[in-house]
Amino acid sequence: MIDDICSNPVIVWLSLFIFIHLITMDPLTRMRNKFSMGRRSSVDPVRIQMDESSFLNTADKRNKSGIPKFVNSTTRKRRSSSCDRQAWRPAKNQGANNLAGLLFTPQHAVTPRVSLSARAAKDCISQLSCKGKPGRKDQRNISDKSVQLALCRHVCSYLNNVGLDADIFTGGKAPAGPIDPLNMKNIDKNAFINLFNFLFKEIGGKGRIEVNSSNYTEKILFTAKKLSYPGIINKSHLQTPNYPQSWPYIIAFLAWMVDLALAEKFYENVINDDSNVLSIFLNFHLASYSAFNRKEIAGPPPQEDIDNLQKLFCEMHGVPEELMQRLRNSRDKIKSQLEAELANEKELEDGQHNKKQQIRQLSKEIEEFTERIKTVRMKTESLSKEREDVSRGKEVLLAKLCELREEKSKLAMACSQQKMSKTEWDTLASKKRELVEDIRMISEVSSNIKKTLDETDLKITSKKNKLNKQWMEFVNKTIPIQPYNVTIQHLLDQIESFNPLNSDAIQCFKDIEDALQHGLTEIIANVSHLNNQARCLQDEQHEWSLKRKELQKEAELLEKNFEERKNKLVIMKEDFIMKMDELNRIKVEIEAETKMINEQPMRDNKEVLEELKAMKIKKTEDLVKFKKESEDYFKMMMEEATAFYNTNHEKIESFKKEVQVLLESKC
């Protein structure tokens, strides 16, 4: 903060002069001279005095103007020094008098124009401020209970420090004691007047004004206005100070007066405590100014001198360096916040400007939209009229359409009696015969396929029976051991004729033993071989059973597919019959139409003839289309039937070959 003060010598000199002038000036005069004294006359200004008679009789004591007063019935009065708008309006009636446009000094006080909505707050301090000067706003949130309590404690602390007792609130009826917030809460009108007189004397208004219960509202409001009170205070607050709706404003006003008293005492204490405060700053600025005049420095004072001044100031008041650094940091922070707020304010102004432009654009769009709505309404009215005209034309067309339908029904009845030509009938009959022949061929193919399937089933069953018979014969042949019957009998004969006394008995015994051993080994080998053959046959039988099941499934699928194809063919046959019936009906209609055309002369109704020709062309086109569809349908049926026959025929042939191979392998 000191760096900014000392940066420019001219500003430093001006600030020093103002500082000395304010200190030497009377405090009440200092606060009063900051504001204008209201509206003054151009000839002799009204001087406001601080005695009791100066509040209500100011207008009566105002000196009259030296300009003579002319009375002209055709010219309105003019005011020269009034800021009223009526003083600068041109005269509505310019008469022959030369003084018609002359401005006159007002002879009476101008009554301020107050709207009906603002009459309840006409005594508010915010409305009593001077014109052209923005009033300061009170930054305290008076509606907050914590703020009210803090202000109340602040006032009580000051009153207790100056030695004021609580009997000021009771008029001496209660014993003296310290003032607490409860006393301030129960303040009445007399106590408030006593506190105001006491605090007004503390801020330097000694003997200047004395407020009593008869004139306190006007005098307090006038004093608050001249001292530029930033808050709100009006007559209703002063008349009922202890009411809940008035007490916050009363305590805020008293706290503001306490702050003024503390500021006044601070200036007095600073001057009385140390007389070197002014000499230090004065010597510094004199040295800087003389150095600037001698051209020793071109700009602000050197940083060393500023640092020395700061050190002397801190040593004199006992301010530590850390506190100064914190103050500098807080100053920089406040500056940055101020710059940020200014930037935000600029952004808000830009945004407001943009919003105004958008609002103008929207207003233009709304106007255009209203114009469009008007045009649309006009168009809708014209369309409604056109709709009525169209509805009338529609009724006329419907009547004509009914007539045409009646004529058409008559023509249809006439055409139904007309016969088809012989060539057309022959072509239709030939197509019918071809379709019948195709259906017959398809039915024959399906019957042949069924016969082949039945024959294959019979052959499979016969082959199966033959295989079972061969298997039984093979088992009967292989189980008895026929070749060993003779050898066993020979051995039995040898054993019966065996004589141990014979010299060849041992040799005979060995031969018998060898023969038995050889026969036993052969029997074991034959039994194992037969067991192996039995296992192989069982495996083959299992494979045949699996194949038989697969063949049965395939046969069932073939039968199912055959039934589906058969059903499709039946459906196709029915469709064909329906198409033939439709073809016959079309033929009958065409014959009737041609007959009607041949019987009725062309000169009777040309439109009817053209319509009949168009109907005939349409019927012929439908006939050709139906013919083409029937041919395509027949081709598709034949292709499906041949494909079905080929696939099933190949499967049956492959099955026959497999069965034959198996039979040959078994045989």
Per-residue model confidence (pLDDT) at position 391: 79
| Residue where one domain finishes, among candidates 219, 244, 273 | 273
Within 479-504, where are the H helices? 485-496
> Tell me, what amino acid is at 100?
A
Residue with tokens 């597919």: 561
Q: Furthest-apart CA pair in the chain: how many Å?
A: 205
Per-residue model confidence (pLDDT) at position 20: 59
- 390 domain residue, yes or no: no
Q: How far apart are CA 572 and CA 187, in angstroms?
A: 115
Distance of CA 514 to the CA centre of its chain: 111
Tens of pLDDT, residues 243-259: 888 899 999 999 999 98
The answer for residues whose C-beta is within 8 angstroms of residue 416's C-beta and 6 or more apart is 588, 589, 592
Residue 300: band (very low, low, confident or very high) from pLDDT cuts 50, 70, 90? confident
Q: How far apart are CA 506 and CA 504, in angstroms?
A: 6
Of the ranges 226-240, 332-346, 427-441, which one carries the lowest mean pLDDT score?
427-441
Residue with tokens 């103002």: 18
- 172 domain residue, yes or no: yes
Tens of pLDDT, residues 387-414: 888 878 778 878 877 887 787 777 667 6
- 523 domain residue, yes or no: yes
Average pLDDT, the chain: 69
Can you tell me the mean pLDDT for 4-29?
Answer: 56
Residue 40: band (very low, low, confident or very high) from pLDDT cuts 50, 70, 90? very low
pLDDT of residue 222 exceeding 80, the answer is yes
- 464 domain residue, yes or no: yes
Q: Is the dihedral of CA 511, 517, 518, 523 positive or negative?
A: positive
> Tell me, what amino acid is at 366?
I
Residue 417: band (very low, low, confident or very high) from pLDDT cuts 50, 70, 90? low
**Contact yes or no for 160/179 (Cβ under 8 A):** yes
HEC string for 404-440: HHHHHHHHHHHHHCCCCCHHHHHHHHHHHHHHHHHHH
> Tell me, what amino acid is at 97?
N
Count of structural domains, the chain: 2
Token digits for 108? 């009476």
What's the Cα-to-Cα distance from 392 to each of 237, 383, 395, 396, rounded to whole Å? 81, 14, 5, 7
Can you tell me the mean pLDDT for 434-452?
Answer: 74
Tens of pLDDT, residues 256-294: 999 888 887 765 555 555 556 556 666 677 677 777 776
**Contact yes or no for 457/451 (Cβ under 8 A):** no
- Single pTM value for the model: 0.28
Residue 109: CB atoms within 10 A of its CB come to: 13
Q: Which of 161-170, 485-494, 502-511 has the highest mean pLDDT?
A: 161-170
CATH of the domain at 256: 1.10.418.30
Per-residue model confidence (pLDDT) at position 36: 43
Q: How far apart are CA 260 and CA 256, in angstroms?
A: 6
Residue with tokens 């009696």: 417
Token digits for 486? 């003779």
**Contact yes or no for 250/263 (Cβ under 8 A):** no
Residue 46: band (very low, low, confident or very high) from pLDDT cuts 50, 70, 90? very low
Residue 61: band (very low, low, confident or very high) from pLDDT cuts 50, 70, 90? very low
Backbone φ/ψ region at 204: left (φ over 0), alpha (ψ -120 to 50), beta:
left
- 344 domain residue, yes or no: no
Residue 433: band (very low, low, confident or very high) from pLDDT cuts 50, 70, 90? confident
3-state helix, strand, coil in the chain (%, to 5): 70, 0, 30
Q: How far apart are CA 200 and CA 533, in angstroms?
A: 142
| Residue where one domain finishes, among candidates 232, 251, 273 | 273
- 240 domain residue, yes or no: yes
Of 169, 185, 187, 188, nearest to 177 by C-alpha is 169
- 243 domain residue, yes or no: yes
Per-residue model confidence (pLDDT) at position 124: 46
| Residue where one domain finishes, among candidates 273, 303, 334 | 273
The answer for residues whose C-beta is within 8 angstroms of residue 282's C-beta and 6 or more apart is 16
- Domain extent, residue 244, equals 134-273
Token digits for 194? 């006593």
- 633 domain residue, yes or no: yes
Q: Which residue has the higher pLDDT, 294 or 343?
A: 343
Q: Which residue has the higher pLDDT, 467 or 420?
A: 467
**Contact yes or no for 280/312 (Cβ under 8 A):** yes
What's the Cα-to-Cα distance from 91 to each of 94, 101, 220, 290, 415, rounded to whole Å? 6, 7, 41, 61, 103
In b/e form, how buried is each residue of 35-56, taking b as 16+ CB within 10 angstroms?
Answer: eeeebebeeeebeeebeeebbe
Q: How far apart are CA 189 and CA 155, in angstroms?
A: 17
